Structure 1
């Protein structure tokens, strides 16, 4: 840009310690343009660059870097307006504002009085103003909408800005008189910025700007936001004193970018000896299916979706990581996302990913050798493994070459931009959720290989978001690896179809997929190469174990346990609700003594739950000295993340795939057992000859799935050979979901007397209706991939996330993609004297919360309230009463960075807490209970 006006337009300003600082608009645009170019060269991967370049019109191929530099150079053109230039600073400083206005007065007459004529009701936004100006210069919607959305949300309708330069003329030009000097000067200034942006990015005129497809627009939008945030960070790009006329900008961008950039881009290399790679990464030789998988992927030219189905303990995680290295090499990706269903499973996998990544890092000879790894879920800051890694946070660039945590990527909106991320699957599902700054999430995932584990755990509602997110990955050519121990044929088909549709193929063109995908025994590998889909299942069917299955009446449980334990053994009992686990645990404690019983479920204080998990691992984990006798009673948390082994298992009736998951903890390890437990035995509670199931199980899973599971449950299951057949039988009805009318038909594969057939028929109708309702509900906030053919410019970011989720709270976003009832967590404290302490440390710490370590310990003691207190009709009153309680009893928490915003409750000497009409009782043995008063 040329001209004296450069010296007067501001982009940022603030007063600090009595000094006044500012950053000129010209300098900020230059900073952002330079950062964008450096991100292209030193942060984007080859796959992302190809995605952007391929989204450009044929005459503009290879101009992706030019385009992002143009966008960055012009992104704040809307600040070159009298409305913005007369705005007060964020931290109001009248002297600073007046000082800058006086400078503008030299060029724009009476600008200091412009505020007096501003319409109070006018909501002028500089990002939309920038979009408006670009449109007036002839820039098409595909590019101008990126400018309009660079603060996180594109406009909903084009009518929001088209023509507004007329109705809001004075906001853009200080006056409505087109012949006035001020009008002409503002107009010339804005056009000068626009032309400068074209020139410095390699475009001489607006007609030379590329046309961009939707996928390119989204990734460019995310990249622009990222560049703007980096260039706006004063640690990297400081403001200048307004009285310093000789501000030094030499090496400004190099110094600023170097401070920000602490990790070098990881680029995978091609491998030819997979046996050696397994030994190097994990210290063991690969199994046949792992080796076969790696060899098949190595033969592909254009892979994308890979599904690995194998029983628990067969090494799916290691197989996925090796394939991730292969796909990263083939498709130019530079990191991974590993997503799991729960925080517990994410925490469990994190150390394994770190160990693999350290091995990967050791291969990078001659490089700067930093790789950034991050754990992402709402309690990641309390995870000890992640906190240990955070000790390697590099602030002054003295990293010692290990895997570390890059501080800039902290925060809910930036975390997914980091290179290597482990977290809950919500992070992936939210790719399809309408929310601000969604383009950043898409940018982050477009850089990675995506691994999603335990896909069988996702219900119909979550699956809608899952499938749409997979389709988005297909549209970006991002490789996706799906892991499951138990996947139905229909769900497998849907996953492959959605990925292929994302690549641009019409559903009619990929109808062959249904015929190509067969019902094969596990282990099973499914993958694509271009449009062709392959399956591999011809492995030697080694029977890992043969499980004898028997039904067990609840009233016979005690007598059966006495028989099972007469010669010793470890029995696991998994039930479907916390209340049921507590009931059984108390009954068994009365019969066998408390020392023999271990209890584990979600209603324990989080720190105590971790202690209980560690205790179980120390007793019945791999390679441990096992107790002679032990009964472990718990809920689904037992099956999710613990590598423990039971001699015998008893389970509530649950859907077939979950029963098989639970069997994964039965005879899991190769150990010597007493003769009475040589054979694996699995007992099922809650079956019913008339299909009248236990209330809690029925509520969670539905009668229809329970009925089909009970009907097809055999007396013996050979693992893995029988798994696929049992899953396909149980979920055969899913093929009817695409045509709801068919679901009115009775099941042809179930043969019962007329009365029971009629009952199952009613179960089925209710189940199908609920699925439809869930899928319809999922539509509200879902962002769909456009697969229709269209000309350039016709599809833009305008309206892309219309009516988004309004809340910035992670918990609300998670609830939107999970269809879960809202939950409330509190910090559990224990009365100590006149103050309070923690349950496991009875020391009064009420006056020590300003100690960071103590505040962190307090925050770690979270406890989920019973769901009966957080229903839609009473959750607000519950939170309201707890907030009132905290204002009275824990008001000083507002002074703590870690505790501010958290809700605490103080249990009395009897471990009771009374509020509303209930009494909460915490028992270290059995967990949290609720009694009505």
Structure 2
């Protein structure tokens, strides 16, 4: 038997799977993933014949592991040698099969070809890297390999298997041919060199075709391997709900007697294609997007991807989504921590099944995936298993919530992303409580033929809060804040920087007691941020009045509702988000909002705060008035050349990122996760604190991440670094020696911390 897989049994012995068994399993899953409508789309986008694509998929699956029929791999799987390169060995046998050539013109308008079967098989195990180690195959003896006699017998089964799996005659005539290592190395070098000179148009076509084919092969391989381990990786919706069925699911999830859709939600349920939804916060746009999504997918294998600005909002929405839809996933850098904690609360164990599903879910394989917009966009920079994410994206309905809440650099990338969605016929539902007309124009969604607007005017008639402008600092009104708290009010305070939020917290804890205040900002360990979020929600649910001192992280990160808010002046769109955290249900018991003018302009664009302050009017206003202020501010921005130039520079940088990275990475090679899609003034990185390191937390990568804290990257080379990251010693992060507590995060009050910058 040619061994392809092995697994350890509970008695310490091993069970083996043959190459024939594994390959047939991969082929079955491959055929299951192929849909005519997807093939037609790929043919339209790339010009590659759809029947040829289907055959390419079959032969990629059939030959992907033939390299395991080598002496080297058999010794490796038996534990006799440490390394094997079976994907490289497999590519040897496919290098002379030239029936699947991608034809393109290079930068000099000369016609060239790339062997797609060779490329797919070579890279099925790990994504191609621009400087792949396989470039050294010619000169490195470690890549030497020899095939078993049985490999040839397996090879010539391709006709029989083709007819068995595709139910048609196989007209291909391949010859089993082994080439020497130096010849193989030369072919790899030639392929990489060709990639460097593909023109932009053909590069995009290659990326789509390659991602589609390799995406299917990777998913099928994962599922087959998981099946051998006894793990079922689910891909499909159980069913696509119609409007009535979804209403029933929502009333169960919301624990209400009957869910009756609002007018805009019914419009969304009937709308096909991309759309812009504009309704106030708390009006049910999330539920409305569910109706839209169900109407914009047509097969149980299609996907829904719902993106939000922050990890916290993604976590909270995930909790809601999984009550409505089966097979849900969560994608962001801290998702594993959150899902582990959820399992723990349910009394379930973390096992191989959990690990497999986490890995599987990272590339949007679940039917309904919730995540940050960064997690989606970064796949377009070839980060991680971008090919699988791209395959799933091509058959998705995408929802982008809080579309107004991103900086101008991210908006630039969003414009490019929306152009790709339009080109690839991927429907997008953009949602916002307040998006200025100027931003609509920038990201090219002002044309209602491309992005029809669905709204509901009566929802903007509410006047939930009194607004007051105060020409001083929040710190000057501590007594007033204390009085509101003593009168039973839930008080929200929002400062624009971490440092200032800590100063206000210190002032208040002496007045009302620290047990009655929660400080929430970005200076906490990841695990403590999760705990604080739960603490905040618990206090609100228990109607236990308290004071929350926070930064702008609460603008979109928490579904909270307070009686009164004291906020630093911020740009108009940020303020409107903050307004939505007071009297969220728009009851007759009006909320009160105080906007304090005396603030530093950082981290915002210079001049924007003054324009905002002048535009806002005091008093009780309808929500529709907020949007008028929003457009007035942005109209003024356009007139200010200095502000406009700064905005345009950031926007242009974001917009050009995709095409620049695509070219840098040869269209299909893997990229390092080093790109900031957002306009981050101060680079940050994750650290472990010395107290945790000394407790022995460091050393298990998963638990490490839970205890990391995100601080300025410059601290890696500062006096506060106790130990440097060292993977061999299982130290996955730099270790910092700085004072810290659950209540206050990093303690900036110590003299030793005077030089540490945490903002912004």
TM-score, normalization by structure 1: 0.63
1:74 matched to 2:63: yes
Change (3 A) 1:761 1:711: farther
Number of residue pairs matched by the alignment: 702
1:534 matched to 2:452: yes
Q: Aligned partners of 2:706, 2:82: CA distance in 1, in Å?
A: 47
Report the counterpart of residue 202 of structure 2 in structure 1.
Answer: none
Q: Secondary structure of 2:96's match?
A: helix
Report the counterpart of residue 707 of structure 1 in structure 2.
Answer: 610
C-alpha distance after superposition, 1:629-684 (max 9, x if no partner): x54322123333434333322211211111011111222246685xxxx5x43222
Matches within 5 A, 1:446-595: 446-493=394-441, 514=446, 516-517=447-448, 533-537=451-455, 539-540=457-458, 541-554=460-473, 556-558=476-478, 560-561=480-481, 569-591=489-511, 594=514
1:805 matched to 2:760: no
Report the counterpart of residue 325 of structure 1 in structure 2.
Answer: 294
Change (3 A) 1:73 1:536: same
Q: Aligned partners of 1:124, 1:626: CA distance in 2, in Å?
A: 60
Q: Secondary structure of 1:660's match?
A: helix
Q: Aligned partners of 1:11, 1:563: CA distance in 2, in Å?
A: 72
Which structure 1 residue ranges, 5 or more long, are not aligned?
1-6, 98-114, 116-121, 175-181, 239-255, 358-370, 397-404, 498-513, 518-527, 688-692, 737-746, 748-759, 785-797, 807-811, 837-845, 895-899, 906-914
Report the counterpart of residue 377 of structure 1 in structure 2.
Answer: 332
- Preserved contact between residue 687 and residue 708 of structure 2 (Cα < 8 Å): yes
Aligned match for 1:35, one of 19, 29, 33 = 29
Q: Secondary structure of 1:314's match?
A: coil
Report the counterpart of residue 423 of structure 1 in structure 2.
Answer: 371
Change (3 A) 1:394 1:268: farther
Report the counterpart of residue 180 of structure 2 in structure 1.
Answer: none
How far 1:227 sits from its partner (Å)? 1.7
Report the counterpart of residue 170 of structure 2 in structure 1.
Answer: 204
How far 1:311 sits from its partner (Å)? 1.9
- Preserved contact between residue 410 and residue 679 of structure 2 (Cα < 8 Å): yes
Change (3 A) 1:389 1:228: farther
- Preserved contact between residue 73 and residue 86 of structure 2 (Cα < 8 Å): no
Q: Aligned partners of 2:692, 2:373: CA distance in 1, in Å?
A: 34
Q: Aligned partners of 2:237, 2:228: CA distance in 1, in Å?
A: 22
Of the structure 1 ranges 19-28 and 141-150, higher mean CA displacement relative to structure 2 is found in 19-28
Change (3 A) 1:423 1:277: closer
Aligned match for 1:686, one of 590, 597, 600 = 597
Of the structure 1 ranges 340-349 and 484-493, higher mean CA displacement relative to structure 2 is found in 484-493
1:875 matched to 2:755: no
Report the counterpart of residue 688 of structure 2 in structure 1.
Answer: 826
- Preserved contact between residue 293 and residue 397 of structure 2 (Cα < 8 Å): yes
Report the counterpart of residue 792 of structure 1 in structure 2.
Answer: none
How far 1:414 sits from its partner (Å)? 5.0
Aligned match for 2:571, one of 655, 661, 673 = 655
1:781 matched to 2:753: no
How far 1:156 sits from its partner (Å)? 6.0
Which structure 2 residue ranges, 5 or more long, are not aligned?
104-113, 175-204, 753-760
Matches within 5 A, 1:192-271: 192=156, 201=166, 202=168, 204-206=170-172, 215-231=208-224, 233=225, 236-237=227-228, 260=232, 265-271=237-243
Change (3 A) 1:379 1:766: closer
- Preserved contact between residue 345 and residue 640 of structure 1 (Cα < 8 Å): yes
- Preserved contact between residue 206 and residue 667 of structure 2 (Cα < 8 Å): no
How far 1:821 sits from its partner (Å)? 1.7
Aligned Cα root-mean-square deviation (Å): 5.1
Q: Aligned partners of 1:131, 1:583: CA distance in 2, in Å?
A: 66
Change (3 A) 1:921 1:50: same
Report the counterpart of residue 747 of structure 2 in structure 1.
Answer: 928
Report the counterpart of residue 443 of structure 1 in structure 2.
Answer: 391
1:316 matched to 2:157: no
1:864 matched to 2:709: yes
- Preserved contact between residue 12 and residue 24 of structure 1 (Cα < 8 Å): yes
Q: Secondary structure of 1:336's match?
A: strand
Change (3 A) 1:129 1:801: same
Change (3 A) 1:437 1:26: same
How far 1:578 sits from its partner (Å)? 1.3
Q: Aligned partners of 1:74, 1:21: CA distance in 2, in Å?
A: 23
Change (3 A) 1:859 1:70: closer
Q: Aligned partners of 1:632, 1:275: CA distance in 2, in Å?
A: 35
Aligned match for 2:127, one of 147, 153, 156 = 153
Change (3 A) 1:321 1:590: same
Q: Aligned partners of 2:704, 2:351: CA distance in 1, in Å?
A: 25
Q: Aligned partners of 1:585, 1:599: CA distance in 2, in Å?
A: 7
How far 1:904 sits from its partner (Å)? 6.8
Q: Secondary structure of 1:221's match?
A: helix
- Preserved contact between residue 154 and residue 800 of structure 1 (Cα < 8 Å): no
How far 1:432 sits from its partner (Å)? 1.0
How far 1:550 sits from its partner (Å)? 0.9
Aligned match for 2:523, one of 600, 603, 606 = 603
- Preserved contact between residue 173 and residue 187 of structure 1 (Cα < 8 Å): no
Matches within 5 A, 1:102-113: none
Matches within 5 A, 1:341-360: 341-357=309-325
Change (3 A) 1:187 1:879: farther
Change (3 A) 1:26 1:572: closer
TM-score, normalization by structure 2: 0.75
Aligned match for 1:305, one of 274, 286, 297 = 274
Change (3 A) 1:782 1:581: farther
Q: Aligned partners of 1:96, 1:702: CA distance in 2, in Å?
A: 55
Change (3 A) 1:417 1:879: farther
C-alpha distance after superposition, 1:93-128 (max 9, x if no partner): 55999xxxxxxxxxxxxxxxxx9xxxxxx9993365
Q: Aligned partners of 2:751, 2:270: CA distance in 1, in Å?
A: 64
1:729 matched to 2:632: yes
- Preserved contact between residue 303 and residue 393 of structure 2 (Cα < 8 Å): no
Q: Aligned partners of 1:614, 1:702: CA distance in 2, in Å?
A: 33
Report the counterpart of residue 241 of structure 1 in structure 2.
Answer: none
C-alpha distance after superposition, 1:198-233 (max 9, x if no partner): 65544633599xxx98645422220012223334x2
- Preserved contact between residue 277 and residue 453 of structure 2 (Cα < 8 Å): no
- Preserved contact between residue 463 and residue 586 of structure 2 (Cα < 8 Å): no
Change (3 A) 1:333 1:708: farther
- Preserved contact between residue 139 and residue 206 of structure 1 (Cα < 8 Å): no
How far 1:708 sits from its partner (Å)? 3.0
Q: Aligned partners of 2:718, 2:658: CA distance in 1, in Å?
A: 27
How far 1:137 sits from its partner (Å)? 8.2
- Preserved contact between residue 328 and residue 448 of structure 1 (Cα < 8 Å): yes
Q: Aligned partners of 1:824, 1:636: CA distance in 2, in Å?
A: 20
C-alpha distance after superposition, 1:281-336 (max 9, x if no partner): 5436667xx53334434544xx332222222211111111222222234x765443
Change (3 A) 1:774 1:319: closer
Q: Aligned partners of 2:625, 2:457: CA distance in 1, in Å?
A: 14
Report the counterpart of residue 89 of structure 2 in structure 1.
Answer: 126
Change (3 A) 1:457 1:264: closer
- Preserved contact between residue 380 and residue 658 of structure 2 (Cα < 8 Å): no
Report the counterpart of residue 508 of structure 1 in structure 2.
Answer: none
